[in-house]
Amino acid sequence: MTESGQSSDRPVIVLQNLVKFFGRFAALRDITDSFAAGRLYVVVGDNGAGKSTLLRVVAGLMQPSQGSVTLLGSQNVRDVAHRIGYMGHAPLLYDELDGMENLRYFAGLYGLSDDSVCRDAMRQVGLDPELERRVGQYSQGMRQRLSLARAVLHNPELILLDEPFSNVDVHSARDMATVLGRVRDQGKTIFVVTHQAPLMEPVADEFVRMAAGQIVARESMKRSATVIGVATGGAR
């Protein structure tokens, strides 16, 4: 039940007969689908549906058992690594360093040596660049914000986020959702895996439902606005 209405751009992600086994368990079962650029996709589904696995395979952290992933036109994830941002379920930050130190290091991995990029990223997610507190002492909300900053630091075209709102206070979560909407408006493509779909309703373009390792439904927000009962377009 895929929805049409995609932009005429070349698809950002193309999955071809994608399969991923963990021993005898098939986490991803023969997925073939494609996703257009410039949209914010929200991936939902029960635990064990394969959402995180799909994200990790797309990010290049895992190799598919069978099938292929074409990312931004390339079959080799390493080639386009600088155009992808990933935010994992875990914070992916160093507890012993403060915010700016963390971002400076990761910026260096992408070849960015300018401090202002890191400062801007922190401000964008609502954190103070001058804060010298170690990340280990951050609240969960702050940690997730910083993790998001790390993921978008290098201005990637494709951003993958795995449960960015877990254990985060409502205020921070809403802020992050807004930031994501703004980033999407700049033309980036975003994938968010979350159990808290309502949070993303104001900004989502499409909901992708997964079950038992397959994509079972895709609903474009603008079309089914009446069903969900929310105003269309991004609420600010």
Partner 1 sequence: MSQISVTRATLLKDLRMEWRSKDAINSMLFFSLLVVVIFSFAFNPTAEESRQIAGGLIWVAFLFAAVVALNQTWARELRNQVLDAYRVSPAPPNALFLAKVLGNFLFVVILEALMAPLFVVFYQLRSVGPVWQLVVVALLGTWALVVNGTFFAALSIRTRSREIMLPLILFPISIPALLAMVDSTTTILTGDGTPGFWLKMLVVYDVVFTLVCLLLFETVLNAE
Partner 2 sequence: MKPLSIAFVVFTLALLGFSTYQALVVAPTEQTMGEVQRIFYYHVPSAWVAGLCFAVNFLASVVYLWKRSLDADALAAASAEVGVVFCTIVLITGPIWARPVWGIWWTWDARLTTTLVLWLIYVSYLVLRKFASGGQTQTLAAALAIFGFVDVPIVYMSIRWFRTQHPSPVMGGGENSGLDPTMLHAFFWNLLAFTFVGICFIVARYRLQLMENKVEAAHAQLALQGGAQ
* Residue 210: CA count within 13 A, CB half-sphere: 28
Q: Binding of partner 1 at residue 110 (CB under 8 A)?
A: yes
Residue 29 in tokens? 């079962």
> Other CB atoms closer than 10 Å to residue 117's CB: what's the count?
17
Which residues, in sequence order, are CB contacts of 204 under 8 Å at separation 6+? 40, 41, 42, 192, 221
Under rule CB under 8 A, which residues in 173-212 are in contact with partner 2? 212
Shortest distance in whole angstroms from residue 117 CB to partner 1: 14
Q: How far apart are CA 103 and CA 113, in angstroms?
A: 10
Stretch that binds partner 2, among 23-31, 67-75, 81-89, 176-184 (CB under 8 A): 23-31
Q: How far apart are CA 70 and CA 10, in angstroms?
A: 11
Under rule CB under 8 A, which residues in 81-100 are in contact with partner 1? 81-82, 84, 86, 88-97
Under rule CB under 8 A, which residues in 51-70 are in contact with partner 2? 65
Stretch that binds partner 2, among 17-25, 34-42, 51-59, 225-233 (CB under 8 A): 17-25
Out of partner 2, partner 1, none, which partner does residue 29 contact, by CB within 5 to 8 A per kind?
Answer: partner 2
Q: Binding of partner 2 at residue 46 (CB under 8 A)?
A: no
Distances in whole angstroms, Cα of residue 228 to Cα of each of 37, 39, 190, 232: 24, 18, 21, 10
Q: Binding of partner 1 at residue 109 (CB under 8 A)?
A: yes
Q: Name beta bridge partners: 96.
A: none
Helix, strand, coil content of the chain in percent (nearest 5)? 35, 25, 40
**Is the Cβ of residue 99 or residue 213 nearer to partner 2 in the bound state?**
213
Residues in contact with partner 1 by CB under 8 A are 59-63, 78, 81-82, 84, 86, 88-97, 101, 105-106, 108-111, 134, 150
Residues in contact with partner 2 by CB under 8 A are 19, 21-26, 29-30, 48, 65, 212
